[in-house]
C-alpha cells in the first residue's frame, strides 16, 4: 500500500514500535527546533551585547518575546482546528519563519524586532500542529503512543542541541547576521522535508472544514487567515517592544482561552469534561515549571555571559554554548534510559502515574536550582565561578524535564476529544507562554538594577534568586504528589 492511498485506519494499524510517518515529522520538527533554540540562546546575549539593553530590560524583553511565541501557538492551534488544517498551518508557519530570519539577517540591530514578529507568528502556526499530527498516528489507547512522543521529543532535542551550539557560536564569534540567516536556511530544509513526505500522512492534517462548504468559500477563509496573520505583524511589534502592552495581553489571553474552552466543553459528556479538567491541572503546573526552567534563556544566559569560567572538565568551552546545549545533550543521552526505566517499572506494576511524574519533575527542578545556587561557593574574587558545577545543575534539571515535558505532549492528545486536540495542544503551549512571561519577570527581579554592578554583585543577586526558585519548586512537587489521587480520578482510564 503506497503512502498516497493509505487510510487513517491503515496508518494506525502499523507494525512495530513506530509508524513510518513519525520519521517525517521527526525531521521536520528537528530542524524547526534548531532554529527556535538557536534563537532562544542568542536573544538575551544579542540584546545586551549588540543593542545595549541592561540586564533587567533584556530579561523582560526575552520574557515578552518568548511569551508571544508560545501564546501564538494557541492561536495557531485554533485556526488549524477550524480553517487551515494542520498541514497548511505548518506550511504557512514555516514560510513566515523563513521570512523572519531573512529580515533580521539583513540588518540585525535595526530590524531585530520586526523579524522577530514574523518568527513569533510563524512558530504559532507551526509548533502545536505538528505535535497534534504525531498524536493522530495512533489509535486511542495505543500503548505505543508514549514511545512515539519520546522519539519525537528526541528529535526536538537533537535540533535544539545543534542549533544551541552552532547559532550561538556563529553569532558570538563570527557574525550575528549569518547566525540569524541560518534560521531561513534551516527552516527551508524543514519545509522541503515536509513537502516531500506529507503524502504518507494520508488524511491526517487536511482541511477540518465541512465537505459541503463550497471550495471558493474554503479558499476565502484560508486567504483571510493568511492576510490576517500578516496584518497582525505591526500589532505584535507594538506588544513586544512595550512591556506594558505585553502585560495587558497576558492578562486577557489566558482568561479568554478558558472561556472559549468552557464554551467547547458544553459539547462533551461528563467523563470527557473530567479529563479536560485533569488536562487543565497539568497545564497550570506546567506554567510554574517553565517559569523556572526557562531561566535558561534569560537570567542563566546572562549568568553564563558574566559569571562562568570558560572550561568544562578542563576542556575550553564557551559558557553560553554550554548553557544553551547541555540540557539537550543530556536529554538525548538519558531519554531512552528513562523510557526503559518506566517500562521496567510498569512490568512490575511500580511505574508512577503521570501526576506523580510531574511531581518528581518539580522535585528535581528544585534540586537543580540549589545546584545553581551552590556555584557561589566556588567563585573567585572577580565573581567568576565553576562551569563544571553549573553544568551539573543542567544534568539534574534534565531528569526533571524528562519527567514532565514528553509526558505532557502525550497527555494533551490522550485527555482531549478529537475535535479540540489542536486547541488543547495550543493551551499546553500557551501555558509555556505564561511560563516564559513569568520567567522574564523573575529574571528581571533577580538581576541587579545597577548597570555598573560588579560581577560579584551579579553573582550574589542571581544565586540568591536561584535558591528561592529551588524552594518554590520543591513545594510545588510536594503538592502535586499529594493531589495525585484526585487528579487520577478525573483522568479515569488514562495513565
How far apart, in whole angstroms, are the C-alpha atoms of residue 412 and residue 393? 29
Looking up cell 531528569 gives 399
| Residue 3: predicted pLDDT | 42
Strand, helix or coil at 315? strand
Mean pLDDT of the chain: 87
Q: How far apart are CA 370 and CA 365, in angstroms?
A: 9
Instruction: Count the neighbouring beta carbons within 10 Å of the beta carbon of residue 256.
Output: 11
Quick one: pLDDT at residue 409? 67
Cβ neighbors of 369 (< 8 A, separation 6 or more) are 292, 393, 397, 466, 467, 469, 470, 473
Angle formed at CA 34 by CA 322 and CA 230, multiple of 5 degrees: 130
Cα dihedral 37/41/43/47 (nearest 10): -170
Q: Which domains does the chain have, with CATH numbers?
A: 16-491 (1.20.1250.20)
Residues 6+ apart with CB under 8 A from 452: none
CB atoms within 10 A of CB 392: 17
Confidence band, pLDDT 50/70/90 cuts, at residue 388: very high
DSSP, collapsed to helix, strand or coil, labels residue 311 as strand
Q: Which of 128-137, 313-322, 375-384 comes out lowest in average pLDDT?
A: 128-137
CA distances from 391 to 15, 326, 387, 403 (A): 40, 7, 6, 19
pLDDT at site 405 = 74
pLDDT at 470: 96
pLDDT of residue 495: 60
Asked whether residue 140 carries a pLDDT value surpassing 80, the answer given is no
Per-residue pLDDT, averaged over 330-357, amounts to 83
Q: Which residues pair with 316 in a beta bridge?
A: 311
Selection from 45-54, 237-246, 365-374 with the highest mean pLDDT: 365-374
pLDDT at 422: 67
- Whole-number pLDDT of residue 63: 87
CA atoms within 13 A on the CB side of 222: 19
Per-residue cell: 426: 495550543
Q: What is the percent of the chain with per-residue pLDDT over 90, rounded to a whole number? A: 38
pLDDT of 28 strictly over 50: yes
pLDDT in tens, 183-237: 999 999 999 999 998 888 888 888 888 777 888 888 999 999 999 999 999 989 9
How confident is residue 72, by pLDDT bands cut at 50, 70 and 90?
A: confident
Range name among 23-37, 171-185, 336-350 with the lowest pLDDT average: 336-350
Q: What is the DSSP string of 351-411?
A: ---HHHHHHHHHHHHHHHHHHHHHGGGG--TTS-B-HHHHHHHHHHHHHHHHTTHHHHHHH
* pLDDT band for position 107 (cuts 50, 70, 90): very high
Q: What is the β-pairing status of strands 315-316 and 311-312? A: antiparallel
For residue 306, which of 98, 169, 454 has the smallest C-alpha distance? Answer: 454
Place of cell 482531549: 416
pLDDT at res. 117: 94
What would the mean pLDDT of 140-165 be, rounded to a whole number?
Answer: 82
Residue 51 is classified by DSSP as: S
Task: Give the separation between CA 364 and CA 341, rounded to whole angstroms.
Answer: 17
What would the mean pLDDT of 337-354 be, rounded to a whole number?
81
What's residue 493's pLDDT?
66
* Percent of the chain residues topping a pLDDT of 70: 97
Structural contact between residues 45 and 280, judged by C-beta atoms closer than 8 angstroms: no
Q: How many distinct helices (H) and strands (E) make up the chain?
A: 17, 2
Q: How far, in Å, are 57, 147, 264, 425 from residue 252 at the CA level?
A: 23, 36, 19, 19
Amino acid at each position: 500500500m503506497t503512502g498516497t492511498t493509505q487510510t487513517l485506519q491503515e496508518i494506525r494499524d502499523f507494525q512495530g514500535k513506530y509508524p513510518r510517518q513519525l520519521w517525517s515529522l521527526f525531521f521536520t520538527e528537528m530542524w524547526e527546533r534548531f532554529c527556535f533554540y538557536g534563537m532562544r540562546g542568542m536573544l538575551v546575549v544579542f540584546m545586551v551585547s549588540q543593542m545595549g539593553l541592561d540586564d533587567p530590560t533584556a530579561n523582560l524583553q526575552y520574557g515578552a518575546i518568548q511569551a508571544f511565541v508560545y501564546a501564538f501557538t494557541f492561536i495557531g492551534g485554533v485556526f488549524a482546528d477550524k480553517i487551515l488544517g494542520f498541514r497548511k498551518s505548518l506550511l504557512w508557519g514555516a514560510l513566515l519563519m523563513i521570512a523572519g530570519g531573512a529580515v533580521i539577517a539583513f540588518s540585525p540591530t535595526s530590524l531585530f524586532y520586526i523579524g522577530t514578529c514574523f518568527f513569533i507568528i510563524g512558530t504559532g502556526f507551526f509548533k502545536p500542529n505538528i505535535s497534534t499530527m504525531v498524536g493522530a498516528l495512533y489509535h486511542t489507547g495505543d500503548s505505543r503512543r508514549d514511545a512515539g512522543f519520546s522519539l519525537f521529543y528526541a528529535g526536538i532535542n537533537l535540533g535544539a542541541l545543534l542549533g544551541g551550539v552552532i547559532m550561538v557560536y556563529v553569532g558570538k564569534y563570527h557574525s550575528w547576521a549569518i547566525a540569524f540567516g541560518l534560521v531561513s536556511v534551516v527552516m527551508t530544509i524543514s519545509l522541503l522535508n515536509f513537502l516531500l513526505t506529507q503524502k504518507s500522512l494520508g488524511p491526517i492534517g487536511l482541511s477540518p472544514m465541512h465537505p459541503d462548504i463550497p471550495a471558493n468559500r474554503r479558499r476565502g477563509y484560508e486567504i483571510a487567515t493568511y492576510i490576517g496573520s500578516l496584518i497582525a505583524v505591526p500589532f505584535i511589534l507594538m506588544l513586544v517592544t512595550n512591556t506594558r502592552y505585553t502585560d495587558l495581553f497576558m492578562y486577557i489571553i489566558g482568561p479568554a482561552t478558558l472561556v472559549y474552552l468552557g464554551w467547547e466543553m458544553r459539547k462533551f459528556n461528563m467523563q470527557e469534561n473530567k479529563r479536560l479538567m485533569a488536562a487543565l491541572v497539568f497545564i497550570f503546573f506546567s506554567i510554574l515549571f517553565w517559569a523556572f526552567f526557562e531561566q535558561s534563556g534569560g537570567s542563566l544566559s546572562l549568568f553564563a555571559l558574566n559569571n562562568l569560567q570558560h572550561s568544562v572538565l578542563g576542556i575550553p568551552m564557551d559558557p553560553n554554548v554550554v548553557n544553551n546545549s547541555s540540557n539537550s545533550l543530556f536529554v538525548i543521552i538519558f531519554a531512552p534510559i528513562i523510557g526503559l526505566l518506566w517500562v521496567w517499572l510498569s512490568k512490575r506494576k511500580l511505574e508512577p502515574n503521570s501526576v506523580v511524574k510531574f511531581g518528581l519533575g518539580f522535585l528535581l527542578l528544585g534540586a537543580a536550582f540549589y545546584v545553581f545556587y551552590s556555584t557561589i561557593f566556588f567563585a573567585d574574587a572577580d565573581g567568576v565561578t565553576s562551569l563544571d558545577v553549573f553544568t551539573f545543575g543542567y544534568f539534574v534539571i534534565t531528569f526533571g524535564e524528562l519527567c514532565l515535558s514528553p509526558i505532557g505532549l502525550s497527555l494533551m492528545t490522550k485527555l482531549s476529544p478529537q475535535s479540540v486536540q489542536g486547541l488543547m495542544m495550543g493551551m499546553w503551549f500557551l501555558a509555556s507562554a505564561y511560563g516564559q512571561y513569568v520567567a522574564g519577570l523573575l529574571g528581571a527581579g533577580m538581576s541587579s538594577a545597577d548597570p555598573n554592578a560588579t560581577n560579584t554583585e551579579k553573582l550574589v543577586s542571581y544565586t540568591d534568586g536561584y535558591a528561592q526558585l529551588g524552594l518554590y519548586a520543591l513545594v510545588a512537587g510536594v503538592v502535586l504528589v499529594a493531589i495525585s489521587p484526585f487528579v487520577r480520578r478525573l483522568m479515569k482510564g488514562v495513565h
